[in-house]
Amino acid sequence: MRGALLVCKKEFMELSKDRKTMFFTFLMPFILYPLIFGMMGKLSQKDVASRKGKPSRILLVDSTQVIAPVLKADAKSFELVAAPQGDVKQAIRDQKLEMMLEVDPEASAKLTQHKTFSLNATYDQSDDSSGLALKRLKEALEKQNTSWVQARLGVMGASPELAVPSRIQTTDASTPGLAVSKVLGAFLPYMIMLMMFAGSMQHGIYTTAGEKERGTLLSLLSTSLPRNQIIWGKLIYVFSIGLISVLINLASMGIAMGRMVPSVASTGGSAAQGLGALSSIANPLTLVLTFLLMIPLGLLFANFIVLMGTQAKNTVEAGTAIMPGFMVVIVAAVFSMAPGIEKMAFLPYVPILNVSLAVRKLFSHQANYLEYTIAFLMTVGLAGLLTWLSTRLLNRESALFKV
Amino acid sequence: MIQLTDVYKTFTVKDKRSRAKKQIEAVKGLSLTVKPGEIYGLLGPNGAGKSTTLRMIAGLMQADQGQIQVCGIDTKAEPEKARAMVGYLSTDLNVYGRFTPRELLRLFGEFQGVDAKVAERRGMHLLEKLQLLDFADVKMEGFSSGQKQKVSIARALLHDPKVVIFDEPTTGLDVLTAKTVLDLLRIMRSEGRSVIVSTHVMPMVDEICDRVGIIFDGELHGDAAPKQILETWNAKTLDEVFFQLAARSAAEV
């Protein structure tokens, strides 16, 4: 194993000489994610605040003045505006107003006759502000309808409670942060898989096909180091880089989210509070079990990259050979985010996807330890198989001298 | 001591046009011995099988048939042990450009089981001999091919190998540096090492080789002192021997 560690040391030494790669691998995530999440948080806050703080602009066509008082009474939510020039629908799409509300011209008469009148609302479903206007209108009308019904019941001498036969009271069964945890559980395997593969891919190519291309691999092979130790050294390096990439990216994202969570929740708070919220979501056992799963997964990816890299003539060929694997990882990663996949009975037996499933369940507080063990053992087995294969194939002269 | 006994090596290549697989016999029944304190020149045109033979001796390739021994160690049975005895240099090899010669030599010393400090000391000594000590702490990215070749030579000799295999050792070197390398080979001979070199540079063969073997089409034609080879082939130069071999081979086809 000493030889493998020496080869790994050589790879890290080479990496340390490349300042640009070092910067993009180890420092960039700490700049990038806080920047992205900070911007996202600010924009989202600004958008929510501007939508919530502003009344919805409504063009009201109400000749009988039945609805106008209702809307005017809630000036925080509604602002009645004059008809715009040109097409009203276009004006809504252009966000000059949120909605046009046309009230039945016989609304007043129908109301007096205890009949139903209709309202015609024109809004833009694709626009959140317009959707908010409709939501506000529905809430206002619901209250007003109840009040009208209760008034009618009063005239008839009946109890006003007839208008409200039942009332729902809700109790939240989730633990604090479970909703966020479920989102994280769906999102995290995707991030882990992509970062682990993408983070180690270029390094893997550089250290395998790149060494062949640069003519340095032969000098390494001419030493007394056993071939399997050379390949293991490269594997350890590629795996370590993948793992480091994931950890750095996740740590950076965690810090960035920690800053974002309290501010988005409008509770106001520091990064420490945000991290506190995150740590309550992901308990140490969840984190340890997730990390344990990342090890064989990283080894599996590293093995695939090294295997393809050693068999390729040059870096271009290696990149082309590894790309389909990357596509599979992307598809698997995207699939792992799909809602309801945890109900698929076969999924615990599908390699890679079973890792996503296990992580997802861990974060959803629905850990299934049998499924976790299957995923772990299956990934370890596959990683072992690929290690054996890459060691065997590196000994093939056709692979070594294919330059 | 290097000993090759009836060695065969075949490669399988694919014909691009017919897509059929073809067997190419790169080395056919090669037997030779290089004694300690001897410089053996392996000569032959491109594609004759020189590099394949040297790679097999260096333990980078395995013979299909026959036996190769380096200091009495079978390269097939104990490849790592055999490689530890060998210092191998080839024009195919390159240096790690991101390292300085000092870093590279320390690292390769460790790969060969030599203590890093000892490796560094030996490496600096070799760089001094090769007149490259001033560049010991400069990144090799910008080195000329000659400077890289010098570092490769130092790398190959770092672990004090009993057997030295140099495939085209003076390629890319200027006359002065080439002379330094040849002097180094002489020193290694005087130290009792077995040295085998392949080259196209005939004056170099006359100058340093104790014995030569001419390899042509995978077979060894003649294995004697340069003068004896010339006498046997009734030729004035070794180049002439090549031409005669080529003519004979063409006639056989």
Query: In percent, how much of chain A has pLDDT > 90?
Result: 32
For residue B141, being part of any structural domain is answered with yes
Asked whether residue B144 is assigned to any structural domain, the reply reads yes
B234: left (phi over 0), alpha (psi -120 to 50) or beta: left
Please state the rounded mean pLDDT for residues B73-93. Answer: 89
Contact yes or no for B85/B165 (Cβ under 8 A): no
Q: Which residue of A has its CA nearest to B80?
A: A224
**Interface touch A224/B88, C-beta < 8 Å:** no
Kindly tell me if the per-residue pLDDT of B210 is higher than 50: yes
The distance of A390 to chain B (nearest Cα, Å) reads: 17
HSE-up (13 A, CA, CB side) for residue A79: 11
In this structure, are residues B30 and B53 in contact, taking their beta carbons and an 8 Å threshold?
A: yes
User: Which of B111, B115, B137, B153 best tests the A interface by mutation, with the highest count of A CBs <10 A?
Assistant: B111
The position carrying tokens 């790309």 is: A323
Residue B94 covered by a domain? yes
What's the pLDDT at A403?
43
Are A9 and A17 in contact, with CB atoms under 8 Å apart? no
Residue B137 belongs to a domain: yes
CA distance B104 to chain A (A): 9
DSSP letter, residue B230: H
Which A residues 203-242 touch B at CB under 8 Å?
A: 214-216, 218-226
Map out the domains of chain A with their CATH numbers: 2-33+177-400 (no CATH), 54-163 (3.40.190)
Number of domains present in the structure of chain B:
1
Judge whether B233 and B240 are in contact, CB under 8 Å: yes
Per DSSP, A367 falls in state -
Is the pLDDT reported for residue A257 higher than 80?
no
The SS3 assignment for B114 reads coil
Whether B112 sits inside 8 A of A220 (CB atoms) is no
Confidence grade of residue A269 (pLDDT, cut at 50, 70, 90): very low
Which residue do the tokens 């203590």 mark?
Answer: B115
| Whether A222 and B59 lie within 8 Å, measured CB to CB | yes
**pLDDT interval class at A276 (50, 70, 90):** low
Q: What average pLDDT does the segment A218-245 reach?
A: 91
* CA dist., res. A277 & res. A351, Å (int): 32
Q: Which of A211-225, A260-274, B127-141, B157-171 has the lowest mean pLDDT?
A: A260-274
Q: What is the domain extent for residue B115? A: 87-160
Q: Please tell me which residue, A138 or A365, carries the higher pLDDT value.
A: A138
Q: Is the pLDDT of residue A61 over 90?
A: yes
- In whole numbers, what is the pLDDT of chain A averaged over residues? 84
| Per-residue pLDDT tens over the stretch A133-146 | 999 999 999 989 98
The pLDDT value recorded for residue A97 is 92
- Report yes or no on B224 lying in a domain: no
Position B200 in a domain: no
Name the burial class of residue A339, with classes exposed (0-12), middle (13-18) and buried (19+) by CB atoms within 10 angstroms of its CB: exposed
Distance CA A244, CA A250 (A): 10
The answer, yes or no, to whether residue A268 has pLDDT greater than 50, is: no
- Does B148 reside within a domain? yes
A295/A272 Cα distance (integer angstroms): 29
Of the CA atoms within 13 Å of residue A253, those in its CB half-sphere come to: 12
- Which of A267-281, B114-128, B200-214 is predicted least confidently? A267-281
Give residue A38's Cα distance to chain centre.
16
> Please, which pLDDT band fits residue B129 given cuts at 50, 70 and 90?
confident
Residue A175 has pLDDT above 90, yes or no: no
A314 touches chain B (CB under 8 A): no
* Torsion sign, CA atoms A344, A350, A353, A356: positive
Using CA atoms, how far apart are residues A172 and B113, in angstroms rounded to an integer? Answer: 65
pLDDT confidence band for A241 (50 / 70 / 90): very high
Least confident span in A307-316, B56-65, B121-130, B200-209: B200-209
Over its C-alpha atoms, chain A yields an Rg (Å, rounded) of 31
ipTM attached to this prediction: 0.88
Asked whether residue B98 is domain-assigned, the answer is yes
Asked whether the beta carbons of B170 and B181 are under 8 A apart, the reply is: yes
Which chain A residues are within 8 Å of B103, Cβ to Cβ? 13
**Torsion sign over Cα A280, A285, A290, A295:** positive
Reference A134, options A97, A86, A94; nearest CA is A97
Cross-chain Cβ contact B61/A397 below 8 Å? yes
* Band (A267; pLDDT cuts 50, 70, 90): very low
Give the residue, A368 or A365, on which the prediction is more confident. A368
The beta strand positions in A89-152, using DSSP E, are 99-103, 119-123
The encoded tokens of residue A44 equal: 């989202």
- Side-chain half-sphere exposure of B64, counting CA atoms within 13 A: 14
